[in-house]
Amino acid sequence: MVKGLLADIEDGLIRVATRGFSRVIILWLLSHGPLSGYGIIREMRRLIERDFTSGVVYPILYDLESRGLIVGEWIRRGRRMIKYYSLTDEGSRVLKSIRDLFHGTAGAVLLDFMGR
C-alpha cells in the first residue's frame, strides 16, 4: 500500500515538473524555427522521454499564442492545412529573460540538483 502511494506521489511530482517546464521547452524549441503542433509533441517526447499528448500541448500553445509569445500560421501541405508555430519578438525576449535567470543562482541550484 505504501509503495503504491509513493509511486503515485513520484509520478505526480514528475508530471508537475514536466508540465511546469513545458512552456519554456516550447519557447526554446520554437527559437530554432517553426514547428507544427505535432512536431512540438514529437520533439518534447524525444527530449523529455515522457508521453506528451495533444491534450497537454495544445492548451499550452493556445495560451502562449494568446499571450503574444508565439504566433501560428496555417500552411497548406498537400490537401491538408497545418498550423506552424513561431516565436514572436516578445517570446524571444521572455526566453532570453529565462536564460538570464538560469545563468545566475537558479542555474547553479539546477546544476546541483542534477548532480553536476
Q: Is 16 or 90 the better-scoring residue by pLDDT? A: 90
Can you list the domains of the chain with their CATH numbers? Answer: 2-113 (1.10.10.10)
Residues 62 and 70 sit within 8 Å (Cβ to Cβ): no
% of the chain beyond a pLDDT of 70: 79
Give the C-alpha separation, 94 to 96, whole Å. Answer: 5
Residue 110 has pLDDT above 90, yes or no: no
Nearest CA-CA partner of 25 in 101, 109, 98, 108: 98
pLDDT in tens, 31-41: 999 999 999 99
Give the C-alpha separation, 38 to 71, whole Å. Answer: 16
User: What is the reported pLDDT for 92?
Assistant: 97
pLDDT in tens, 20-77: 788 999 999 999 999 999 999 999 888 877 777 788 899 999 999 999 999 999 999 9
End-to-end CA distance of the chain: give it in Å, rounded: 34
User: What is the reported pLDDT for 116?
Assistant: 67
User: What is the reported pLDDT for 32?
Assistant: 97
